[in-house]
Amino acid sequence: MKILIIDDERSIRNSLKEILLDEDYEVDTAENGAEGCAMVEKEKYDVIFCDIKMPEMDGNEVLDRMVGMGIDSAIVMISGHGDIAQAVDCIKRGAFDFIPKPLDLNRILITIKNATEKVNLVKETRILKKKVYGQQMIGESVGITNIKDMIDKVAPTDARVLIIGSNGTGKELVARNLHQKSRRSAMPYIEVNCAAIPSELIESELFGHEKGSFTSAIKQHKGKFEQADGGTLFLDEIGDMSLAAQAKVLRVLQEKKLSRVGSDKDITVDVRVVAATNKNLKEEIAKGNFREDLYHRLSVIVINVPTLDERKDDIPLLVDHFIEQICSETGMQPRPVEPDAMKLLVNKTWTGNIRELRNVVERLLILSGAKITAADVKAYVLANV
């Protein structure tokens, strides 16, 4: 754990630092508010102790600036002139706690323990939200800008969307953003990878089954359509779905009704279907592998996600984003990418698209030194091509 102490009194800085070092914490100090803010801009701290009464920039100004920066650190205000009103005011404005001087060792250690739990909870919540609700689409290229505009127009409607593109381009991210920006965002978002489910089980997965309808059906099961009722169902790799399942999906889209395997009872569902594929469905229709009527039902809106090689201008933004994301999730220290190294990454051919780029960034973070250099890219990326 890393702690920063901001106090204009050297004796307090040093004594508090010694106490915390004895507890095996990593500790930095700053003698004024401006220096403390500058340090926070460069380093990540779990807990920040900040005195209120300081010359030039006092603790209240430091608190406001750090809260405005949106940092995750737990900020603990300390003062020898405080009262209950001042403590309440600091906490209302974003401080984690308020400790009066003279400082009590037990109180400090308890505060750090509680602050650690709070910081970890914030990080876990952010990661969970990214996993559940999707992530921001990173990029300013023409192709990505057009997709963002399309999502903004289409998401508020109930129009069905077909997302096409190569593996690893981010089709799932487009689907999540469509749901997140829709009027259904508070309702379930259910994903189904049609290519990962055996053909004999796909109907049970999508439409559910009754107890005893087949050998392993030991209890009633609600399918993905029922689970997504009121929300969005994302059918990924729909080009791999069997013709029998396609016929049932078409019925649900037409009638908004389904029947579980082993039952004749109709169940009404209200589901927005978003589908994705890396296949050319028109070619699959010509081969007899995909129903043309289902294609027209699904493709009210078609969004074509470009490959990474078609949006190379976005690579620097994506690299910076993945560095921040990976370091936030793993606790690794962020490190800069030298211009020559970034040039090599931009010029590389990315057959695995965004997914490959993220893996490469994680590899470079693990294997590189204080900076990611051109030599690192040549050794750990290009040498493996």
**Runs of H (alpha helix) within the chain:** 10-22, 33-42, 59-69, 84-92, 105-133, 142-154, 171-180, 199-207, 224-227, 243-255, 281-286, 292-298, 315-330, 339-347, 353-367, 374-380
294-339 residue pLDDT tens: 999 999 999 999 999 999 999 999 999 999 989 988 888 899 999 9
Residues 6+ apart with CB under 8 A from 39: 4, 28, 30
Query: What pLDDT shows up at residue 133?
Result: 42
Region 145-160: what's the mean pLDDT?
Answer: 95
Query: What pLDDT shows up at residue 157?
Result: 94
Q: Is the pLDDT of residue 132 over 70?
A: no
**354 vs 331, residue with greater confidence:** 354
* Phi, psi dihedral angles at 288 (to 5 degrees): 85, 15
Q: Is the pLDDT of residue 287 over 70?
A: yes
Query: What pLDDT shows up at residue 81?
Result: 73
Region 146-163: what's the mean pLDDT?
Answer: 96
Compute the distance between CA of residue 280 and CA of residue 289 in angstroms, rounded to an integer: 11
- Upper half-sphere CA count for residue 309 (Cβ side, 13 Å): 8
Query: What pLDDT shows up at residue 134?
Result: 45
Compute the distance between CA of residue 189 and CA of residue 172 in angstroms, rounded to an integer: 12
Of 284, 275, 339, 349, the closest CA to residue 312 belongs to 349
Residue 160 amino acid letter: R
Domains in the chain with CATH codes: 2-129 (3.40.50.2300), 142-306 (3.40.50.300), 309-384 (1.10.8.60)
**Least reliable range by pLDDT among 73-77, 132-136, 218-222, 248-252:** 132-136
**80 vs 373, residue with greater confidence:** 373
Distance between the two ends of the chain, CA-based, in angstroms? Answer: 38
Q: Is the pLDDT of residue 125 over 70?
A: no
Q: 309-342 burial string, b = 16+ CB within 10 Å, else e?
A: ebbeebbeebbbbbbebbbbeeeeeeeebbeebb
Residue with tokens 């307090």: 12
Query: What pLDDT shows up at residue 126?
Result: 58
Q: Is the pLDDT of residue 163 over 50?
A: yes
Region 109-124: what's the mean pLDDT?
Answer: 81
Query: What pLDDT shows up at residue 384?
Result: 72
Look over the chain and give the mean of its residue pLDDT values, rounded to a whole number: 89
pTM: 0.65
Most confident listed range (4-13, 205-214, 298-307): 298-307
- For the chain, give the number of residues: 385
CA–centroid distance for 199 within its chain: 31
H or E element that contains 50:
strand 47-51
Q: How confident is the model at residue 42 (pLDDT cuts 50, 70, 90)?
A: confident
Q: How confident is the model at residue 91 (pLDDT cuts 50, 70, 90)?
A: confident
Query: What pLDDT shows up at residue 1?
Result: 83
